[in-house]
Amino acid sequence: MTIKEIAEMTGLSTATVSRALDPRYSAMLRESTRKKVLAVAEKYNYRPVIIGKSFVTGKTYKVGLILDAMTADLSSPTFGRFVEAACVELQMHNYTLVLLKVKDVKKNNGANVRELLESKVADGYILGKSMVLESFQDTLKKTPVVLISSREDGIPEPMPWVQIRRSIMPAYQAMWRLIPPALRRSVAIVAPENKYYHTPRSRAQLIAAAAPENAEVKNFFVKMHPGFLVDRINAAAAAEEYFDELRKYKVIWGISDLYALGVMDAFRRHGLIPGKDFYLLGLDNLEPNIPGVQPILTTCDQQWEEIGCLAVRTVLKLIAGKTVPESELTVEPKLIRRASL
């Protein structure tokens, strides 16, 4: 099926059909015309030939996602949500996502990032804000780019490029309010040691900073290196090691769902049930991604799907030469209350 064939079947010109199939120009047509074209395209499974379109427009119809820790990033279930949402959003606009790997960004002073940005392998790029170095900021100024901030405290860090930031502090404050006042002096935090954090403050520190007056927290550190593939196992081992002391606390707060689930695994081996014998909190809302599991964790969803969609919509605007009014876009987390508290 080609545009010419659709034009013949609908009695429209090829130019009109082309506009109807292009999200950038479809709004220029009457709704009835657009629906007529889309109905035929859907019926006959029409797919645009991107290569031919690229020759005409000079565009690649690709958006590059630049990663410097690809293995770790792609093992993250939360980042997986981001990538999936970005792919779906791009494909709705006849674009595709390209994964681009860079290594030792700071060691080579960002030369590899600059090379990618100047290679025109994509029309626009999404990358972590922490990767931005002064050495290639002049290239960024000439490139449609959206930055994803790694900070979780929500503190603004102004830059001349569009960035998406997130703050889990409001969610932590809301979760603290869920804890009965009488139990706020009996809160244990299970977290990796602070040395493993590359952001200004660790999640354990953010939880403590969000606490109301008179609340008290005790940190129980998991001494093994964090990683999405091992966090649950390591947290369970640490909870078993600390069990005699940890069980004295009424509320246990894992800095992620994986840490919280690890604690739950250890406590269940001792016959203790979350929501009944102790309260348990997490972060990330991962249980719905685990097949056959009935979610029970009270947690916070950082809305990575929305971040992915927003990043794509924003970079496509920049590619089209449109102005994005706000240089800092914020995605708010969503509190999810379940049986564990």
Distance CA 227, CA 9 (A): 55
> What per-residue confidence (pLDDT) applies to 23?
66
Q: How confident is the model at residue 50 (pLDDT cuts 50, 70, 90)?
A: low
Closest residue by Cα to residue 309 from 86, 154, 92: 86
Q: How confident is the model at residue 46 (pLDDT cuts 50, 70, 90)?
A: confident
pLDDT-above-90 percentage for the chain:
62
Phi, psi at residue 258, to the nearest 5°? -65, -40
The structure's pTM equals 0.82
Is 324's pLDDT higher than 80? Answer: yes
Where in the sequence of the chain do the CATH 3.40.50.2300 domains occur? Answer: 62-166+304-331, 169-301
Distance CA 8, CA 160 (A): 48
- How is 48-59 classified by DSSP, letter by letter? --HHHHHHHH--
- Across the range 264-285, mean pLDDT stands at 97
pLDDT-above-70 percentage for the chain:
95
- Across the range 7-31, mean pLDDT stands at 84
Is 31's pLDDT higher than 70? Answer: yes
Q: Are strands 145-148 and 96-101 parallel, antiparallel or unpaired?
A: unpaired
294 Rama class: left (phi>0) / alpha (psi -120 to 50) / beta: beta
Instruction: Judge whether 120 and 60 are in contact, CB under 8 Å.
Output: yes
Tens digits of residue pLDDT in 113-140: 999 999 889 999 999 988 888 888 898 8
Q: To the nearest whole number, what is the mean pLDDT of the chain?
A: 90
Tens digits of residue pLDDT in 305-321: 999 999 999 999 999 99
- Locate 11 and state its tokens: 């009695």
Give the CATH architecture of domain 62-166+304-331. Answer: 3-Layer(aba) Sandwich (3.40)
- Locate 174 and state its tokens: 């809301």
Distance CA 26, CA 33 (A): 9
Distance CA 40, CA 9 (A): 8
- Locate 86 and state its tokens: 């970005």
Cβ partners under 8 Å of residue 340, min gap 6: 260, 264, 274, 275, 279, 280, 281, 282, 296, 297, 298
Is 69's pLDDT higher than 70? Answer: yes
Q: How confident is the model at residue 48 (pLDDT cuts 50, 70, 90)?
A: low
Say which amino acid occupies 226: P
Which range is most confident: 68-72, 114-118, 191-195, 276-280? 276-280
Tens digits of residue pLDDT in 193-236: 877 776 668 899 999 999 999 999 999 999 888 888 899 999 99
CATH 3.40.50.2300, applies to 169-301:
yes
* Higher pLDDT among residues 226 and 295, named by residue: 295
* Higher pLDDT among residues 272 and 159, named by residue: 272
The CA distances from residue 12 to 23, 35, 50, 73, 191, in Å, are: 18, 13, 22, 47, 63
Is 54's pLDDT higher than 70? Answer: no
